[in-house]
Structure 1
């Protein structure tokens, strides 16, 4: 597959990754190579990666962090920063983030802030990280239960997408990443959406191309608006309510923890409903969105008493301005509109639609 050039990085695929990484290391001659993994990728992905990494005489150190969204904290960053310092990392060091979205988000933030910035490369190992988290330069950590409240936009030098790593993923993690692919179709490319919603006509060999197409869509959007002043905001469709739901379920122990994509799937249905009331999305499109998402994602139990705390969490959404909650909504499948506003009454209607469909 042909590599994709982003604003500051290059995304390489499958067998190309390791040859390009070899060239990169030779040209940049890092003082030390650090590899950040979590518990799972240490066991499932690191041996394969190390077997193909050609580092020459350069020292390689592996740092392991806990897995899961609850580990995406400034405390874990402190541990990684301290480990870098203890190992003698300098500004010529290279950090390779080998993992899912938590590892690439946190690792990118660590690299962007250690000594005011060291070079880093993302090697995403989950579907979510391949199509979304590792591309575009958004790095950061959560603030308590608030998603991605601390971070910077700082793109690494390279992204390496090796689809073979997906064989290590449990089914729920694969499904979680699929939510972001569906989102890319809904906000930007109806043809891509139609392809994704006819998966029974595809097989596993098509996954490479679908991932590639998803990265192309995200790169087009990010390249036009790297700092999220306008167009890039459309990537947040489903995330205003979705992030609030994810945070709420993360914070309340009596609720099951939702994976990112599971929460975003709910958010997309809710915000599709709002789109019919605010942006003229057709009822047929709403039915299609609801039906297709529900084929893959199980319904989440959200009760009446959950509405108010979820809505309160939306006040922390990063798209908000002057205390007003801003949504990304759909005018049609493939056409998104930014900076939309919705009343509390309409948001409650959306919850009731989701509850009763």
Structure 2
């Protein structure tokens, strides 16, 4: 008997019946770049359609996102140079606009999921995710600072802490710090497999967070972020993060690392997150601007591929647009 798979592609109704992968706004997280100026709305030239926003504009943006079904947001601070130092002390300051913004967001929208960024690079005068001592990124000294940052973020209202630093042992250290302060309901989205990728450029433009070109400081993050050549290492990182108390395991970037998403999905029962990073999105936007690709179709296909690979959560600059296209 001749098998004809095309029968299950014969109409939109039939195709919907047999569709294997579901992608909804509920799977997506919209990144937000926050500035201290409350009314700011500054475009990011290398990532068209994305802006650095002050808290007044952030509240409007979240309200717009809620109307199309988005309920989860990951916020990153663009910290002025005058607030940066070697140990990122502004991260836990009572004056930190990032913490004030989290409180304002949760006051206005208590039902949203707000995910933090926990790393030193936005606050560090060296531009690194950990503290630099004698020309090296010092792992264990960084943990103390990350613990304090995570506690301050949780107290400000963040539902989930996102340690993006790739310091060894940071998930367990943060979990103990949160629990010791009674913050047991605050989750941890571990950047489990964060690769030393070429695709972070627009993000670093947005936050001015690239490693500084200084004589005694590494000019890249290869001593702590993962080598793009390695896959088995991601499984080791996943096992460690899960054992230390992570609530999500993240892969970053996403499209060039679909195999890593699948490996972690296959190996763990924890939800898998994937960060569809700025460079991945900027490439597609540039091609769409040239008329070489259809933005809606290509962006949807990219997000579907990440979901199909096993991601339960997708952080993407396309989240709001996708939700808008599919809002009925």
Compute the TM-score of the two structures, normalised by the length of structure 2: 0.31
Which protein is richer in helix relative to its size?
A: 1
Larger RCO of the pair (alpha carbons < 8 Å, separation 6+): 2
Compute the TM-score of the two structures, normalised by the length of structure 1: 0.29
